[in-house]
């Protein structure tokens, strides 16, 4: 009881203190209220989008999906590091930070040490330009370079940089940058998958499944855009909704989930079946639309 | 009394009188630290690569939280949901499928759940956490929850 009463008076004290600090002039009072309002709006936005970001597959998961699908490496589909110099607006920087992070995760599956080092350096520069301080430190880059042939260390380092970026953007209330970084990474993963299928439904079945399964995530990606009202964000929202009209042509359902536990390693398998119906034309249309969206992102400045 | 206090704080936030107090920021930092040390330890980074995202929240007794996570087919996942020791022992952690079928629950008296699994289909899971309310409403229990997913190397 004492503790609760103490906290109640403490909160009143905080309010009184804050009020007391802002009584100099009417102008400064208004300005401070505006700043407070803006800060609260950003906090609320961050709280709103954080669970959606969490729900989506990360670039690390996407890379692991590619590994399972046993796909080859194709450098020509990456966003060239030379494009970095053209990004100056925060929208272009945030989207392409996500794109470069996804490229880096993909590269790291293969023995492409020089390319991996270049993309890590580019990702760091993009984070620096966005003012995401210490997300990727000099030590991290050095550790990456020294262990570039050790895949386990490389993947852990990428995971750590994603975690640092996510954490920094949350703590500093930058919801728009956080959302765009995630969308950039998601679309790049999808773009890599669609390019590797060569837009054909007859391609590697696992790759085709990666593309189609993103129907589930697209709903979250669109929800992520919903709270933002700027023209740039509305344009991206429009592109994603157009993509959804194509995904809507795909019939997708999942059956009842049964669990099976392996007594040797205590691992559970969630057994279920998905029922997918998609025409070759729809699949090609989908891949082409993904290509257009992704290219519009990398050409942004 | 406890509920009145919570209500007042919510009202203060909604009227713009208070942004985040130092105490709340401290709570956030504490929960982040709990996630990146304790929960990450349970994930075991030698075996599993963290997916690069985490959730760290400060919870009160009586709170209920639901989070979603899309899991991809054929990946070997480890899910970690950890509650700090200052939350009640009877707190419940459940992982459910999208039809609300319970797939995994924390063991009685354990404040953490570590679950290794793989899925034959890409699907959305629900992570549900329920902190029981204290019998004495004048006593408030708060603590951290951390949620992390890793993929087997």
Q: What is the mean pLDDT of residues A164-188?
A: 95
Please determine, for residue B3, whether its predicted confidence score (pLDDT) is greater than 60.
no
Q: What is the mean pLDDT of residues A246-259?
A: 96
Partner-chain contact B70 A53, CB within 8 Å? no
pLDDT digits (tens, 9 = 90+) for A6-50: 344 333 333 333 333 333 455 666 667 776 778 888 989 998 999
Q: What is the C-alpha to C-alpha distance for residues A94 and B61, in angstroms, rounded to an integer?
A: 38
Partner-chain contact A267 B9, CB within 8 Å? no
Q: Which of A199, A179, A239, A222 is nearest to A46 (CA)?
A: A179
For A183, the 3-state DSSP assignment is: helix
Q: What is the mean pLDDT of residues A75-96?
A: 97
Q: Among B18, B70, B121, select the one facing A274 at the smallest CB separation.
A: B121
Percentages of chain B per state (helix, strand, coil), in multiples of 5: 25, 40, 35
Q: Which of A54, A133, A60 is nearest to B56 (CA)?
A: A54
The pLDDT score that the predictor gives to residue B21 is: 47
**Any idea which of A84-98, A132-146, A170-184 has the lowest mean pLDDT?**
A132-146
Residues of B in contact with A266 (CB under 8 A): 116
Q: How confident is the model at residue A62 (pLDDT cuts 50, 70, 90)?
A: very high
The pLDDT score that the predictor gives to residue B25 is: 53
Residues 6 or more apart in contact with residue A118 via CB below 8 angstroms? A81
Say how many Å lie between the first and final Cα of chain A, rounded: 57
For B146, the 3-state DSSP assignment is: strand
**Any idea which of A27-31, A216-220, B70-74, B95-99 has the lowest mean pLDDT?**
A27-31
Structure-block tokens of residue A221: 């990606």
Other beta carbons within 10 angstroms of residue B94's beta carbon come to 18
Q: How confident is the model at residue A114 (pLDDT cuts 50, 70, 90)?
A: very high
Please determine, for residue A148, whether its predicted confidence score (pLDDT) is greater than 50.
yes
Q: Among B20, B32, B121, select the one facing A167 at the smallest CB separation.
A: B32
Say how many Å lie between the first and final Cα of chain B, rounded: 50
Partner-chain contact B116 A53, CB within 8 Å? no
Return the residue matching tokens 């989506």: A56
Q: Decide if the complex's ipTM is over 0.90.
A: no
Other beta carbons within 10 angstroms of residue A1's beta carbon come to 11
Residues 6 or more apart in contact with residue A4 via CB below 8 angstroms? B1, B2, B5, B138, B140
pTM given for the model:
0.86
Q: Which of A170, A224, A244 is nearest to B70 (CA)?
A: A224
Q: CB of B39 within 8 A of CB of B82?
A: yes
Q: What is the C-alpha to C-alpha distance for residues B144 and B27, in angstroms, rounded to an integer?
A: 8
Residues of A in contact with B18 (CB under 8 A): 11, 14-15, 18
Partner-chain contact A54 B55, CB within 8 Å? yes
Query: What is the interface size between A and B, counted as CB pairs within 8 Å?
Result: 169
The pLDDT score that the predictor gives to residue B11 is: 39
Q: What is the mean pLDDT of residues A137-150?
A: 93
Q: What is the C-alpha to C-alpha distance for residues A121 and A84, in angstroms, rounded to an integer?
A: 11
Q: What is the C-alpha to C-alpha distance for residues B53 and B147, in angstroms, rounded to an integer?
A: 9
Q: What is the C-alpha to C-alpha distance for residues B111 and A297, in angstroms, rounded to an integer?
A: 44
Higher-scoring residue by pLDDT: A9, B133: B133
**Any idea which of A22-36, A148-162, B103-117 has the lowest mean pLDDT?**
A22-36
The pLDDT score that the predictor gives to residue A37 is: 79
Higher-scoring residue by pLDDT: A13, B43: B43
Q: What is the mean pLDDT of residues B127-141?
A: 92
The pLDDT score that the predictor gives to residue A247 is: 98
Q: CB of B126 within 8 A of CB of B67?
A: yes
**Any idea which of A26-35, A144-153, A286-295, B21-30 has the lowest mean pLDDT?**
B21-30
Q: What is the mean pLDDT of residues B119-139?
A: 94
Give percent of chain A with pLDDT exceeding 90: 81
Sheet containing B92-96: which strands, arranged edge to edge? Answer: B64-71, B123-130, B92-96, B102-105
Q: How confident is the model at residue B40 (pLDDT cuts 50, 70, 90)?
A: very high
Give percent of chain B with pLDDT exceeding 70: 82
Q: Residue B77, exposed/middle/buried by CB under 10 A (0-12, 13-18, 19+)?
A: buried
Q: What is the C-alpha to C-alpha distance for residues A143 and A137, in angstroms, rounded to an integer?
A: 10
Please determine, for residue B6, whether its predicted confidence score (pLDDT) is greater than 50.
no
Q: Among A53, A151, A217, select the one facing B53 at the smallest CB separation.
A: A53
Q: What is the C-alpha to C-alpha distance for residues B45 and B38, in angstroms, rounded to an integer?
A: 12
Partner-chain contact A158 B52, CB within 8 Å? yes
């Amino acid at each position: 009881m004492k503790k609760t009463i103490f906290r109640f008076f403490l909160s009143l004290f905080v309010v009184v203190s804050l009020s007391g600090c802002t009584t100099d002039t009417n102008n400064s009072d208004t300005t401070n209220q505006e700043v407070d309002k803006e800060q609260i709006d950003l906090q609320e936005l961050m709280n709103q989008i954080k669970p959606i970001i969490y729900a989506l597959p990360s670039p690390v998961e996407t890379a692991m999906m590619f590994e399972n699908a046993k796909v080859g490496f194709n450098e020509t589909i990456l966003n060239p590091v030379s494009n970095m110099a053209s990004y100056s607006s925060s929208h272009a920087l945030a989207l392409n930070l996500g794109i470069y992070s996804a490229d880096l995760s993909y590269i790291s599956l293969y023995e492409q040490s020089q390319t991996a080092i270049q993309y890590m350096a580019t990702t760091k520069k993009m984070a620096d330009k966005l003012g995401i301080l210490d997300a990727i430190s000099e030590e991290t880059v050095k550790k990456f370079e020294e262990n570039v042939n050790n895949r386990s260390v490389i993947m852990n380092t990428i995971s750590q940089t994603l975690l640092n970026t996510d954490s920094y953007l949350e703590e500093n209330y930058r919801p728009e940058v956080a959302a765009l970084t995630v969308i950039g990474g998601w679309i790049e993963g999808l773009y890599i998958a669609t390019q590797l299928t060569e837009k054909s439904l007859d391609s590697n079945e696992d790759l085709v499944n990666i593309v189609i399964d993103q129907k589930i995530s697209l709903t979250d990606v669109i929800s992520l855009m919903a709270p933002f009202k700027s023209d740039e964000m509305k344009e991206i929202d429009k592109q994603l909704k157009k993509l959804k009209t194509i995904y809507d042509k795909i019939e997708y359902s999942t059956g009842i989930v049964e669990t099976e536990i392996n007594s040797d390693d205590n691992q559970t398998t969630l057994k279920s079946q998905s029922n997918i119906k998609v025409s070759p034309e729809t699949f090609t249309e989908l891949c082409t639309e993904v290509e257009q969206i992704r290219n519009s992102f990398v050409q942004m400045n | 009394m406890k509920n009145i206090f919570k209500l007042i704080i919510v009202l203060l936030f909604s009227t713009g009188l208070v942004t985040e107090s130092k105490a709340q920021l401290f709570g956030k930092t504490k929960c982040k630290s709990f996630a990146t040390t304790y929960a990450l330890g349970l994930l075991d980074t030698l075996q599993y690569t963290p997916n690069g995202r985490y959730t760290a929240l400060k919870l009160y007794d009586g709170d209920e939280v639901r989070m979603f996570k899309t899991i991809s087919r054929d990946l070997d996942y480890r899910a970690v949901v950890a509650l700090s020791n200052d939350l009640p022992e009877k707190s419940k952690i459940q992982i459910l499928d999208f039809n609300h079928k319970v797939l995994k629950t924390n063991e009685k008296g354990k404040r953490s759940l570590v679950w290794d699994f793989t899925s034959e289909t890409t699907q959305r899971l629900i992570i549900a956490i329920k902190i029981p309310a204290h019998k004495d409403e004048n006593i408030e229990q708060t603590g951290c929850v951390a949620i992390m997913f890793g993929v087997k190397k």
